[in-house]
């Protein structure tokens, strides 16, 4: 073990923030860390929009489905898949960009966006800040596009609120490791026993923390995956991500 691994293994999302601002030099170091993160083939097709303005944060809190901690925390960073920026480079090289029309373009940009998001969170937590990643901005991506002035061939994939924590949250248990880590090949037979065990573990955890009506993992996953929670294809298409190949 070392300091970094201890920090990673202690991850939790925080949903209660003080209004204290994040000092500029700390925010700079966090963003510089993300800027140095690995990126597919050095393409660097991710951009950040840093929002500190309280009116904009209140609007994002609303867009994300009324998440008050977004308005509370002093900084919100949107992680943008950015094939507009790359398009300028491709044009400068005398060619026409088509990557945005392919699933591969979505794959490399979302994966790099996830790397950037993780790096922001790890760096922020290393300075004692709390974080909460926000996929809820995809409830209304058009509103985010309008708020941030995002051009064609971009998409607001995910965001993160950060600030000094008021009330610290507990760390929720994860599924048994056998459902996550497979050796040499995928071992489907390990899954059902792990799911059954975890459904019980989560029930016990909800009891321990006094949460009534807490769902098992299976029930929670069903809530999120049994219907099309977000029909994003028309907005992605309009932005230029046409998923042709």
Q: What is the DSSP letter of 165?
A: B
Using alpha carbons only, how large is the chain's radius of gyration in Å? 20
- Among 15, 22, 46, 61, which residue sits at the site for its own copies (rule: CB under 8 A)? 46
- Among 58, 118, 143, 197, which residue sits at the site for its own copies (rule: CB under 8 A)? 118
- Could you say whether residue 189 binds its own copies (CB under 8 A)? no
**Nearest to 127, CA basis, from 5, 16, 29:** 29
- Tell me the closest approach of the beta carbon of residue 72 to its own copies, in angstroms: 18
Question: Residues 219 to 238: which contact its own copies by CB under 8 A?
Answer: 219-222, 224-233, 236
- Could you say whether residue 208 binds its own copies (CB under 8 A)? no
- Could you say whether residue 10 binds its own copies (CB under 8 A)? yes
- Could you say whether residue 197 binds its own copies (CB under 8 A)? no
The two tokens of residue 17 are 């923030």
| Ramachandran region, residue 243 (left: φ > 0; alpha: ψ -120 to 50; beta: rest) | left
Nearer to its own copies, 17 or 84 (CB): 84
Question: Residues 59 to 98: which contact its own copies by CB under 8 A?
Answer: 80, 83-90, 92-98
The structure tokens 């083939």 sit at: 41
Pairing, β 130-134 against β 46-51: unpaired
* Segment near its own copies (CB under 8 A); pick from 15-23, 65-73, 162-170, 184-192: 184-192
C-beta separation of 161 from 13 below 8 A: no
- Could you say whether residue 204 binds its own copies (CB under 8 A)? no
- Could you say whether residue 217 binds its own copies (CB under 8 A)? yes
- Tell me the closest approach of the beta carbon of residue 128 to its own copies, in angstroms: 9
d(CA 56, CA 66): 13
First and final C-alpha spacing in the chain? 44
- Could you say whether residue 150 binds its own copies (CB under 8 A)? yes
* Segment near its own copies (CB under 8 A); pick from 14-22, 66-74, 153-161, 162-170: 153-161
- Tell me the closest approach of the beta carbon of residue 203 to its own copies, in angstroms: 13
d(CA 70, CA 60): 7
Nearer to its own copies, 62 or 214 (CB): 214
- Could you say whether residue 211 binds its own copies (CB under 8 A)? no
- Among 29, 58, 143, 197, which residue sits at the site for its own copies (rule: CB under 8 A)? 29
d(CA 145, CA 22): 25
d(CA 35, CA 94): 27
C-beta separation of 126 from 36 below 8 A: no
Nearer to its own copies, 63 or 112 (CB): 112
Q: What is the DSSP letter of 17?
A: B
């Amino acid at each position: 073990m070392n300091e970094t691994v201890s920090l990673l293994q202690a991850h939790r999302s925080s949903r209660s923030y003080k209004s204290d601002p994040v000092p500029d030099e700390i925010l700079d170091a966090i963003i510089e860390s993300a800027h140095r993160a690995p990126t597919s083939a050095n393409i660097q097709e991710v951009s950040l929009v840093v929002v500190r303005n309280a009116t904009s944060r209140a609007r994002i809190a609303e867009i994300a489905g009324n998440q008050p901690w977004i308005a509370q925390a002093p900084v919100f960073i949107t992680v943008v898949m950015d094939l507009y920026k790359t398009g300028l480079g491709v044009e400068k090289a005398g060619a026409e960009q088509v990557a945005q029309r392919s699933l591969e373009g979505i794959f490399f940009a979302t994966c790099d966006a996830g790397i950037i998001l993780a790096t922001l969170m790890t760096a922020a937590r290393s300075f004692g800040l709390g974080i909460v990643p926000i996929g809820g901005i995809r409830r209304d991506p058009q509103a985010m596009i309008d708020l941030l002035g995002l051009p064609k061939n971009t998409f607001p994939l995910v965001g993160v609120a950060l600030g000094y924590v008021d009330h610290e949250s507990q760390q929720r248990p994860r599924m048994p490791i056998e459902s996550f880590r497979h050796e040499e090949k995928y071992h489907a037979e390990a899954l059902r026993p792990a799911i059954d065990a975890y459904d019980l573990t989560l029930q016990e955890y909800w009891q321990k923390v006094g949460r009534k009506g807490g769902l098992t993992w299976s029930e929670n996953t069903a809530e999120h995956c049994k219907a099309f929670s977000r029909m994003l294809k028309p907005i992605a298409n309009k932005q230029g991500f046409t998923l042709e190949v």
